[in-house]
Amino acid sequence: MNRDEQALHRLLEDTFSTCQRILGEQRPQLKYREIGTVNFIGQGIARIAGLPGVKSEEIVCFQGDSLGMAFNLDIDEVGTILLDKSEHLKAGDEVRRTGRVLDVPVGDGLLGRVVDPMGRPLDNRGPVRAAQRYLAERKAPAIMDRAPVTVPLQTGLKVVDALIPIGRGQRELILGDRQTGKSSIALDTIINQKGEKVICVYCAIGQRSSAVAKFVADLQQYGAMDYCLVVFAAGEEPPGLQFIAPYAATAMAEYFMEQGHDVLIVYDDLTAHARAYRELSLLLRRPPGREAFPGDIFYIHSRLLERSTRLNAARGGGSLTALPIVETEAQNISAYIPTNLISITDGQIYLSPVLFQKGILPAVDAGKSVSRVGGKTQLAAYRAVASDLRLSYSQFEELEVFSRFGTRLDEVTRQTLERGRRVREVLKQNQYEPMPVPEQIAILLAVTSGVFDRLMITEIPAAEKAVALAIRQQLPAICVHLQSGKKLSDGDFQNLVNIAKQAIAIPE
């Protein structure tokens, strides 16, 4: 036996002797584990017997490592909602407790990723690296931990920033019929946060996979995925996964808020969330109420949206702004879920299918839209330019309806109608083209000052571009002041008007 063989022999002997010693010292320990049995499997739910110690919202594990969440804690059985596919499950299968209440991964590693509500990756980019885990259901910040909403969240859309402003920490509902541009407003708002140090979370609930894939592709095209996180529960996924999606997404967003960041979260949409909850509740035999929704449907949305706020300086000063989306049917904003959410949120942006069909995009109905908080956060220049714009624009729309009867109009009324039509044209905006604050204010000032009155309606889009370019090139100092929220003097406003006139070749 040569030297190498001897060394290998000694190494093996030492290894085996160590293993024998460790095995001899090892003492088996008994662990208490609750094992239940599936009594019933339904569409997205299961009823289980034999788990007397299970907690509310605790994760349970079925055969094949499928997960569920304890939802109904009855005397004889536990009603669970399934979070994975259930085709392989059957009555009689064993179920075990995990001892872990529903939680999700959080951290900077989620930025730029597409995940499901459990934090599992959907973008084929490997596992998610989480800093820690947060409970999906967390208490909303206490009143004393909150601060007033004072900083605007610019959407880049003239009609929203001027007429229905949103503040950081506000909850602004977006509602309207199907295919009226609700998600488009959310997408443009996310794109406009580039360079604004606002982290965005997009929660898609019950959407088609192709629609979400296009949304993600648009975010990537415009460089928004670097500061964005997408949480997606597809329409073909179990309703339980759709139900927990907004709570999981909010927990992920709260991590960034507690680090002192400003965060924007979009729930698209809470109509699908309410339907998923109704389906689960009826299957678990919870008593139905109005429109077959259980009585606590208001509570599940209020406890979700109450988590959106602005924290005070002692808590880091971060904010969480919520843009929940809800779909109406036949313009019925008095239906159960829309009225619930209108009463929970701080205002709403209503999209009219009539305006959409006329090509007035975004199809925001200024008369039915309101912001109960954002006006206090609006930049000083906006208040100076657009303070009366919302009221005058709503009056114009009513006046235009009456003018269609063919009544002879006096000169003042005719001028009001002509000005109103130009304001409406200015408020139109193409998708993927959010506009910076200085350009918005310059264009709004131009139209309210009568600079565009001599132009034909078809010439307005070109005039807008000319004014925006002239302001950027000739008044950079004023642009900086506008962006920072400083008040402008009467001379500054006159300079803006003069530059606008020169840009469209109108003599002084």
Residues marked active site are found at 372
Angle at 475 between CA 432 and CA 458, to 5 degrees: 50
CA–CA distance, 466 with 499 (Å, rounded to integer): 10
- Helix, strand, coil tally for the chain in percent (to 5): 45, 20, 35
CA–CA distance, 239 with 69 (Å, rounded to integer): 12
Token readout for 418 is: 């002509």
Which amino acid does the sequence have at 93?
Answer: D
Alpha-carbon torsion angle 22, 24, 27, 28, nearest 10? 90
Phi, psi (deg, nearest 5) at residue 327: -100, 130
| CB-based burial label for 400 (10 Å; 0-12, 13-18, 19+) | middle
* Alpha-carbon distances, residue 215 vs 59, 192, 230, 265, 494 (angstroms): 31, 15, 10, 15, 41
Report CA torsion sign: 55, 56, 58, 64: positive
Distance of CA 487 to the CA centre of its chain: 31
Helices (H) and strands (E) in the chain, counts: 16, 16
Token readout for 56 is: 């509310």
Closest CA to 417 of 381, 393, 443: 393
CA–CA distance, 185 with 289 (Å, rounded to integer): 33
Tell whether omega for the bond before 269 is within 30 degrees of 0, i.e. cis: yes
CA–CA distance, 274 with 59 (Å, rounded to integer): 22
The size of the chain, in residues, is 508
Closest CA to 173 of 291, 393, 340: 340
Token readout for 41 is: 């499997």
Token readout for 236 is: 């073909």
Element (H, E) at 36: strand 35-41
Token readout for 119 is: 């934090």
CA–CA distance, 234 with 247 (Å, rounded to integer): 16
CA–CA distance, 343 with 388 (Å, rounded to integer): 26
Element (H, E) at 106: strand 103-106
In terms of phi and psi (left: phi > 0; alpha: psi -120 to 50; beta: otherwise), the region of 379 is beta
